[in-house]
Structure formats: structure tokens, C-alpha cells
Chains A and B, each alone.
Chain A
């Protein structure tokens, strides 16, 4: 910003403070996780002690494994179905109603989708477990993958697929040799975003999980832990999870065209 006026400076200062507000609390967490004493009462030196403690807690490790299974499976479903959906929607002329339907999973309050899915599974007498979380997470993930792939498709030059068809390629060959390579960065960006969203999702998982350890995800474990206050183990785990999320979202953003990022 070349604006050197007083309002310009004030605006920039405000933006700086906004970033401080957004990142300060997370930074404090991360620094505290490295404190040997664990709590802000005294700084007793940098140590990875609390990270080691985490690895000795079987209930945290099993929750982390469950989360990875849920995130991977729901991402796989959502990436396939969401990409296919995006290709179909973008080929249509009228899509007002479709747009509304595809927007809904992104804006519906989590609690509403959560109780709706719980009611649905209960009515069908489906046993709840990791599988019901996967089915549920795929709902919002399909919508997000579809949205990301659609932005990629908008900058897609359709004359090359027409040329491919004119040269006698079957629709499948055209898709595999031309469309997929061109939209692949968008598909990957959508998949990374979907993985992050599922990895961090708590409310829907909480309502659609079965009883007991076998379908407890990491966010559910965290929720149970933070209700009892601040502990150095939570700080260490929170730091790791934030780093994973930030890395995945950053990677997803790098894959998307300028000016069309989530």
C-alpha cells in the first residue's frame, strides 16, 4: 500500500492488530507446549517432554488413528463423487436449484445436520460407529470438493475436449488424457481441504459416533479433555493438530488458481 495518509496508516495498523488477534492465542499455545514446566506459571526451558507424554497415552493414539481412518475414507468418497458432480453441474445450462443444493451442506449449522443424521441412523436402526461418521463427513466434503473443482473447471478451455472428440477419442479417453490432467490440481486441492475439514470436525462426529473407544475421534477426545481445564499434554496435541491443518490448507491453497481460493 503506497497510501501514506493517516487513515491509510491507521487501517494498516488495524489489519496488523487483527492478525495479532487471530494468531496470538495460537502462538501462545504453541510456545507453552514447549515449556518444560508445562504451565505459564514459570518458564523452565524448552523441551519436547510433553510431546513424548502424548505418545505414551494409548487412548490418544487410538483416537488419532480413528481420525485418520475417517478423514481418509470420507475424503476418498467425497473426492470421487464431488469431482464427478462438478463435471456434471458445469456441463449444464440451468443450475440455480443445483447451486442451492450444493451450497446447503456448507452453510447448514453443524448441530442441525448432526441431529438430522442421528435421527436418520436411529430410524434405520444402523449401528453407529466409524462408518456412520464417514458417511456423514462425506456430505459436507462432497460439497467442498465440488466447489473447489468447479472453480478450476471455469477456467477450463472446452475447445480442447471438443478437439479430442473430433479426432475420434472416446469420452473416457478424453477424460483420462485431457480433462483429468488439467483439473487435477483442483481435485487435489479439494481433497486436501476435505481431509482437513474431516480431520478437525467435532460436532457431527460426536452425534454420529458409537459408544466407547472404538469410534472416538481425536476432536472428541480433545473435547473430553479440555472440559477439565488446561494441561500441557493438550497444548502439545493442539500444536501438532494446528500444524497439520495449517500445512494441508496451505498446500491446498497453493494448488488453486489465483483469486479463486477458499
Chain B
């Protein structure tokens, strides 16, 4: 025992110290956890309950239990909106992955000291104003916008193209806004990957594309899936991009929830739709976690 160490008599007993430590940790966490409980868990609980209540006569809420809100969500009108949302969100996810994967790969293969900076440059727009990033595309795509004027200038088009207020514009806006997230998720899994496996494969004479398809891609699939889940769910629940770049002509699940709360005043139905969105997100995250587990097991088997 070092002479500097205080005698056991002066130190709190191990049991008492641990209990005091736990108490102190609880006291430190209490205000923050209390806030999250009061302003996140309880409000989400209220939405859950609202989803099973009836709409009142004048837009209020009648505390009568019903599953009507959910059966209503299965009506063809709403199923059509869900299908359109899923198609647009799916397309945005696919494009974001196709752009994001090679970008993440290029960063992961850059010299180590430059990787943080390169990744930060991708993430920087993600932390800035969503509305302005979306507005930037209105500036580029409108009939008098830079793209139309540029194409007219070099004589490629006679009349301006309708680039704005359609599915193309909405998908572009979603990809633009969520791409940084995809790059981050894929980069993280490339970073964790054991690159010696790829080197071994190359040493054994496998062509580069084959090493990629058999080793790199399967090992980074959890990152791809994580990025995909977030882009998909955030796109489906988005109402700003369809409103601004779709010109109000394209309704997605997010717009539907927005309308129930701010225009139609049918809160129970809106709550049910929000609940379905969260449910879809949890299911997809669960599937992603299962994929991570499987990848982990296969990694050990190799």
C-alpha cells in the first residue's frame, strides 16, 4: 500500500461509497431526466392515448375509446398517400445511398489526418437551417432559375423546363438534406471495418470489385441500413419539402399529420398517423439491429 493512501478509517466504506455514488449520480441526472419525462415522454404518451379517442363535435377530443382512427388510416385515400410517401422516400433513400456510399468510401480511404475535416465538410450543412437549404433549390429550379437560364443560354432548351413543383424536385430536396446523414452512417461502419480482410483478399488474388462485393459491402451493410432507415422515416414524415418543392401538389404522410392538427382539426386521427409513423420507424430500426447482429455473427465465423 502506498504511504500516501489514507488509512481505511478515513475512507468511506466501499458499500457506503458506492451507495453514495449512485445517489449522487441520480441527483445529477434528475433535472435532465425530469425535463425529458415532462416534455417528451408524457406528451408522447398523450399522443398515444389521443390516437384511441374519438374526435369531438367541434374539433375537440371525446374520451371515448375507439380503433376507428386506425381503420380510417386503411381507407384507399390514405393508403394512396402512404404509397406515394413510401415511393418518394424510397427513391430519395436509394439516390442518397448511391451518392453517399462512394463519398463515404472516398473519405474512409483518405489519409487519416484529413478524414475528420472531410467528414466535417459533409456534415456542416446538416447542422444549418433546413428551410434555407430547401429554399436554395427553389432558387435553382424555378422557371427563371439558374438551371433553366443556363440551359437556355447555351441553346439546349427553347422554353423553360418545369423542374419545380413535382416529384423530381421533392426527391432532390430530400436527398440534398439527408445525404450528410447517410455519409456519416456509412463512414462510421467503414471506419469500424477490419481492412486487413480486404488486403488478405487482394493478396490471395481476388480482383478489387470482388473483395468489395464479398467483404466490404457485407461488413458495412449495418451502416447502409442505419442511414437508409433514417432517410426513409424522416422523408415520410417530412411536410416542408413536399410543401415547398412539391408546391402543395404532393401530399406525404407528414403533410397529412400536419393537416389533421392545424387545418382539419382531427387530432385523434393525426395522433394515430403519428403513432403509425413511430411504429414504422421502430420496426425498421429493429430490422436494422437484427442485421447488425447477423453481420456480427458472420464476422466471427469468417
Task: Enumerate chain A interface residues (CB-CB to B < 8 A).
Answer: 1-3, 7-8, 11-12, 14-15, 18-19, 21-23, 25-26, 28-29, 32, 39-41, 77, 80-82, 84-85, 87-89, 91-92, 98, 101-102, 104-105, 107-113, 115-120, 123, 135-136, 138-139, 142-143, 146, 166, 171, 193, 196-197, 200, 202-203, 207, 219, 222-223, 226-227, 229-230, 234-235, 238, 241-242, 245-246, 249-250, 253, 258-259, 261-262
- The reply to whether A28 and B35 form a contact with Cβ atoms under 8 Å apart is no
Given A109-B277, A120-B39, A202-B129, 6 more pairs with CB closer than 8 A: A111-B277, A116-B43, A116-B47, A207-B262, A229-B142, A242-B129
Which of B105, B127, B133, B244: most chain A CB closer than 10 A?
Answer: B127
Q: Which single residue of chain A is at the shortest CB-CB distance from B137?
A: A25
Cβ of B40 to closest chain A Cβ, rounded Å: 5
- The CA-CA distance from A111 to B142 in the complex, in Å, is 27
Query: What residues on A are CB-neighbors of B4 within 8 Å?
Result: 166
Decide yes or no: A238 and B140 within 8 Å by CB, A40-B146, A112-B278 being known contacts.
no
Q: Which residues of A contact B6 (CB under 8 A)?
A: 166
Let me know if B109 is at the binding interface, CB within 8 A.
Answer: yes
15 A-B pairs whose Cβ atoms sit less than 8 Å apart in the complex: A15-B102, A15-B118, A22-B122, A40-B146, A88-B25, A101-B33, A112-B44, A113-B40, A115-B261, A119-B47, A119-B50, A142-B32, A202-B240, A222-B129, A250-B124
Q: Are B35 and A139 in contact (CB under 8 A)?
A: yes
- Check B274–A245 contact: CB distance below 8 A: no
Contact of B257 among A107, A111, A142, A196 (CB under 8 A): A111
Chain A residues, Cβ within 8 Å of B30: 88
- What residues of chain A lie closer than 8 Å to B119, measured between beta carbons? 261
Q: Is the CB of A139 within 8 A of B39?
A: yes
Q: How far is the CB of A191 from chain B (nearest CB, A)?
A: 14
| A25–B140 touching, CB < 8 Å | yes
Known: A1-B109, A115-B261. A25 touches B127 (CB 8 A): no
Q: Which residues of B contact A229 (CB under 8 A)?
A: 138, 142
For residue A258, which residues in chain B have a CB less than 8 angstroms away from its CB?
Answer: 116
Asked if residues B237 and A19 are in contact (CB atoms below 8 Å), the reply is: no
> Is there contact, CB below 8 Å, between B281 and A109?
yes
Residues of A within 8 A of B43 (CB): 113, 116-117, 119-120
Residues of A with C-beta under 8 A to B258:
111
In whole Å, how far is B83's beta carbon from the nearest beta carbon of chain A? 19
Within residues 92 to 134 of chain B, which ones have a CB less than 8 A from any CB in chain A? 99, 102-103, 105-107, 109-111, 116, 118-125, 127-133
Give every chain B residue within 8 A of A171 (Cβ-Cβ): 24
Asked whether B145 lies within 8 Å of A85 as measured between CB atoms, the reply is no
B267 within 8 A of A: yes
Distance between A180 CB and nearest chain B CB, rounded to angstroms: 13
Say how far B19's CB is from chain A's closest CB, in angstroms.
13
A182 to chain B, nearest CB (A): 16
A202 surroundings in chain B (CB, below 8 A): 129-131, 240
| Residue in chain B with minimal CB distance to A120 | B43
Task: Point out the residues of chain A lying under 8 angstroms from B270, CB to CB.
Answer: 115
Bound-complex Cα distance A222 to B29 (A): 37
CB of B278 within 8 A of CB of A22, answer no
Say whether B87 faces chain A, with CB atoms less than 8 Å apart. Answer: no
B46 touches A226 (CB 8 A): no
Contact B26 A88 (CB under 8 A): yes
CB atoms of B99 and A21 under 8 A apart: yes
Partner of A222, one of B5, B44, B120, B135: B135
Contact of A109 among B132, B136, B237 (CB under 8 A): B237
Min CB–CB distance A237 → chain B (angstroms):
9
* CB pair A89 B240 closer than 8 Å: no
B36:A101 contact, CB within 8 angstroms: yes
Given A1-B109, A40-B146, the answer on whether A117 and B131 have CB atoms closer than 8 Å is: no
Q: Are B111 and A18 within 8 A (Cβ)?
A: no
Which A residues are CB-close (under 8 A) to B176? 21-22, 25
Whether A226 touches B244, Cβ cut-off 8 Å, given contacts A12-B106, A119-B43, is yes
B121 touches A19 (CB 8 A): yes
Q: Which residue of B lies closest to A199 (CB)?
A: B129
Q: Which residues from chain B contact A108 at a C-beta distance below 8 Å?
A: 40, 44, 278
